[in-house]
Structure formats: C-alpha cells, structure tokens
Chain A
Amino acid sequence: MNLHEYQSKHIFAEYGIPIPHGRVASNSTEAKQIAEELGGHVVIKSQVLVGGRGKAGGIRLAKNPQEAEEIATQILGMEIKGLPVRKVLVDEAANIETEIYLGITNDRADRKPTIMASSAGGVDIEEVAEKTPEKIVRVGIDPLLGLRDYQARDLAAGIDLPRDHWRTFGQIASGLWRVYLESDATLAEINPLVITSRERLLAVDGKMVIDDNALFRHPDLAEMRDLDVEPKAETEARKYSLSFIKLDGQIGCMVNGAGLAMATMDIIKLHGGKPANFLDIGGGASSEKVAAALRIILSDPNVRAVLFNIFGGITRGDEVARGIITALEEVKTDIPMVARLVGTNAEEGRQILSAANMITAETLVDAAKKAIAAANGGD
C-alpha cells in the first residue's frame, strides 16, 4: 500500500526528520490561507500516487497567496495519469543548493533491508540505477541489528557529502530506519533530501510503501489507503479476502490457487484469448466465495465468458461442483461458463456441472479453447 507524500513526510517529521513547513489542502481557499501563513512563497504539489507529477504540471511554485490560490484551483481540477487530484500539499519553497537521494528498501535476493544514497537526487532512482549505477551507494542492514551509525557515515562519505553535514545526515538516516522499521515499510524514501542555501538538510519529497501483510498491526496506516488507485472490483474483492486483479481481456477467470490462476491466464493467452482478470478464490471453493467472486467478475462489462479452473484435492470435485451450482442459482447470468475440474472426484463434479448446462472440459488446453470460442460467440 502506497502512502501519499504528505502522509509520508508527516511520519518522517514524527521521527525527527526535518521537513519543510506546510500543510495539505483540499480546496484553493485553504491553499491560499496556508500560503499566507507561510509567507507567500510556496510550492503547490498535487497528491496523487503516480510518478512524474512535476512533468505533468502537478507541482508548481507560487510567489504569493493569490497565485497560490489560482494554481491550487488549476491543480485540484487536474487528472494525472487517470487519477483525480483531490488534495494539494502547500509547502514553504526551499532554496535548494544540492539534491541527494536517501532510501531504505528490501533487498529480496540478499534477504535484508538495504539503505541507498546518491548524490544524484531529485530524479527517479531507477533511472539513476540504470544510467549511472556508480552514483548509488548501497549498504546492507542486518535485520537483527538495525542500521548502525558507522553505516550512515559510510553512506555520507560514499556520496561525498561535506563533513559538516555528516552528523545531521546520520540523524536523518537513523530516523528513516526507524520509520521503515516501525511502519513495516517496504520502501521509505527521501527524494530529494536537499541542502538549502542556509546549509540546512531538508526532506523535500517523501514516499512510503507499507507491507499489506503487516497492516494488522498498523490500523492507523491502513486507514490511509487511497482507493482511487485501484479498480472498484479490487476494493470489493478485498472485503471477501479474494485475491483479484483486473485486466483488460474478455475471459473471466475463477481459479483456486495463485500459481494455477496465473497458469490459467497464460494458457488463455497462449491460445489467442485475453484474460479479464486474475482471481484466486483460495482453498475449498465454498459457494459463498464462488458467488462473491462471480459477481465481481461479471461486474466487468468486457467479460464475454467465464472459465472455472478448480483443482479438487482435499475439497473434492463433486463438492466444488455443488458449490458452483449453488452460487450460479444466486447469481443469474447469460454469460457462458466453462468449467474444468481436475483432481479427486473430478468426473463426478463434471457430471454435476454438465447437468446444469455448463460447458465442461477435461484438460486445461481444452478449457481455454472452449472459453475462447464461447467468448467469441460460438461454443
């Protein structure tokens, strides 16, 4: 789950990381008022969860409160990469001398957190990594020890930070480590961390990604989720603990197990069709879950056929089939349904589904072909 800039910086400030004076506004009057409090010279920043806000015109300077109001009106009326701007952050404009990057993320291959710094701040770090990897200094953190002071000094020295700033830089790195740790972040990033003309270090922009699996111990963070960034169907699916991702094809997929669900999407593509979604209904395939999943799949008007691919293991094929029938009685539809059951008691299951006028298939290839044909209007 991604946090907005204003949310991330608010958390940074709680851990002693210096951020510019400023507040978030939902309308231009508020923006003007905040600009007045800050002395007039401000930066107005759209709060949307996409990259490239600046290039899209979503970050602009204002010289006085009137201009702040005008610019806020314009930015609050924008859509950036399909997302509506609902809030702007109004920050005191900083006189920037130098831009640095500082971030902590998970190094999956190394199985530990890694802290990265670069003298090339203010641009996308992935771009820096690609074009000038030598400008990024990385230090692995032992998760059982945490970030050590010497590691922060190594970073500061590694990016040729003037020695006068090492102490403050160390405090900021240590604060960012605690942010990462105590928020269960998978990314905590300051980009840029600037040195101002008054020789102060300031976190001008911030980004955080929180581990969804850890939200149970962060109810305050869970409430910050921005639902604009995901299709409604995905929000709905989360309520039923269904793992669902909307895609742009015509064949709805209902599968038990994430790996099998991906393999099912792949085989549809392999035979010339396009999956409408990824969906893992989990073990058991109870009629309640199947019904909820079916409603979510059918809420997509592009769906022309639905493919069920269920492996019956401990929950046997005939039980799964009865669950599907019960769900279909509840969710009426004319969309053709193709079912492939495999595993224990699959044959019994197929008979139950055939009797209910579902198209059945024995193999995955056969099921994909039948679903594609059904979606194209034949059967």
Chain B
Amino acid sequence: MSILVDNNTRLLVQGITGNEGLFHTQQMLSYGTKVVAGVTPGKGGEWVLEGKVPVFDSVRIAQEATGVNASVIFVPARFAADAIYEAADAGIPLIVCITEGIPIQDMMRVRNYLDQKGVRLLGPNCPGLLTPGEAKVGIIPGDISIPGNVGVVSRSGTLTYEVLYALKLVGLGASTCVGIGGDPINGTSFIDILGMFEADPHTEKMVLIGEIGGTDEEKAAEFIADHMTKPVIAFIAGQTAPPGKRMGHAGAIVEGGSGTATDKIAAFQAVGVQVAAHPEEIPKLLE
C-alpha cells in the first residue's frame, strides 16, 4: 500500500519527446508504471518508444483521449510554470514537476494559483515518487528499493536513494518514497506527506530527510508532536554549510541566521524525534 501513486495511476508525461522525458518514460514503463500519454506541443499524433505511448499537442486533448490522473513534467525551466498551469487547468489532480531552475516568482504565482484550484503539485526540482512494486513517477531508480512499510519523504535526490538503498540492504522496504524537492517554494511540504503516511494503514514508520533552509522541518516537528502516532526518524543535511550560500538546491540556504541544521535538529529532538548523525545510521534507528 502506498500514498499518491499506485497501480491505478494513469500517467501523462509533459515534455515526452525531449531527451530526459523520453529516457525516463522508458524507465517508468520498464518498471511497470502505466504511462498512457505524452504531450509535446506541435508533435500531436506521433507515437514514441516503438508505438507504446501516444503524443498529444496539449494536456487537455491527452486527458480527454486517455483519462490520465497524474502528470509528470520534464520540460525546461523557462516553460515549466506554463506546463504546470496547463496540467492544472486540464483538471489533472496530481502534478509532479522534475524540472530544476524555475524562477522563484514563477513558483510563487504557480503555488498561489494551484491553492485556489485545489490541485496537488509535487516539486519542482524533485526526483518524483516511487511506490515499490507498483509505480515509479519521476526519476528515482526503480531497483534500489523494495516494497515495505517505511514511508520516506525528502527534499533531496541522491541522498534519498542512498537511504532507500541502505534500507533495502537490511531488508526494509518503502510504502512510498516521496521527493518534495529542493526549491524554496514548492507544491507540497513535509507535513502534507507526513499526514498522508499517518493515514495510510500500510505505513508503519517514517524517514524524513531534510536539509538547511526555510522552516519546513520545524513545522514538521510541530506537526509530529501534535498529530502523529507513528514513529519518525529524521536526518538533516548541511551542518557544515556556510551561511548565505546556496548549497546546490535553490532552497538550501541559511539566511539571516535562520534555516540552520542545528535549529532543525533541535526542533526534532525537542519533540522526541530521533535524528540520525549520518545517513547510514537510519536503518539501525528504524529497528
């Protein structure tokens, strides 16, 4: 069992004919994800991957023809905000944006618009989701995780893979792994996902992977104290990050003394959440 994506996910890929889009569509299909349509404006009517997936000119046309219920976006940063609006306006309830480098003002408008429409966006600048054995939406390598009862939520990419793989090596699997992305303004926060895991009967415990910047982790700590019964293990990256510098992710920055790893770790410890000293400690803390 899982959250957000599963066997019933009928996926649309926006930007399916680009290098990244095509490559990862192949990977998702091989994993067993039901990729039922793609969109590239101007290429409607074509088929990709030896006739496996039809391409449409717009999300609305793809939606009417195939009945998709989720979309994953691989379009370049300068067109990504428009792609999100297009998916939202076509009534797609779950939008996953992989694209990195979207201007922050674009994202502020996108987020405020989506909130009014009640559409869920995951990302941007995220690896997507993986429900092992059922569906892979995005770019998380499929073979690094097995089905299980650990819910994983993270702002990172490879660091998450690292943790999934470490869990697999000790026989632990994931219910769903969710990358919420490394941007300062994103669609879904830790508390949204923690709430879904808390409600999912097959998730028994959780791993939360945070990093410097913003106050999402502090809010998560508060949420855990007030609303959660299942155990959560946390890890925070960036203890050695210098202030005022963006550490790769646009959102990973300590500004005006706020957003430090020390504060976040303290916030979790204050509510009794165990914080791993390093990623390899996580499997042990879950036992």
Contacts and interface: CB of A to CB of B under 8 A. Distances in A.
A306 B19 CA distance: 32
A41 to B, nearest CB: 36
Interface in A208-259: 211-214, 216-217, 243, 245, 247, 255-259
Contact of A213 (B101, B256, B280): B101
B54 interface: no
A67 B247 CA distance: 45
A108 B162 contact: no
Interface stretch (A6-14, A151-159, A168-176, A263-271): A263-271
B188 to A, nearest CB: 12
Interface string A99-127: 00000001011011100000000000010
B280 A259 contact: no
A266 B161 contact: no
A311 B165 CA distance: 10
Contact of A314 (B104, B106, B139, B185): B139
A258 B241 contact: no
A175 B250 CA distance: 27
Contact of A257 (B78, B101, B141, B159): B159
B249 A258 contact: yes
Interface string A273-304: 00100101001000000000000000000000
Contact of A311 (B162, B212, B246): B162
Interface in A39-70: none
Interface stretch (B10-18, B41-49, B149-157, B226-234): B149-157
Interface in B55-80: 77-78
A269 B238 CA distance: 11
Contacts of A283: 139
Contact of B240 (A109, A275, A342): A275
With a 10 A CB-CB cut-off, give which of A108, A184, A365 has the most chain B CB atoms: A108
A181 interface: yes
Residue among A255, A283, A342 facing the most chain B CB atoms (10 A cut-off): A342
Contact of A365 (B214, B215, B241, B278): B278
A326 interface: no
A109 B219 CA distance: 10
Nearest to B77: A213
A119 to B, nearest CB: 21
Given A186-B104, A267-B278, 14 more contacts: A108-B251, A111-B108, A113-B105, A142-B112, A181-B105, A214-B105, A259-B160, A266-B237, A266-B239, A269-B239, A270-B277, A275-B240, A314-B27, A314-B141
13 contacts: A106-B184, A113-B108, A143-B109, A212-B246, A247-B240, A260-B156, A260-B162, A262-B252, A266-B239, A311-B158, A313-B161, A343-B161, A364-B162
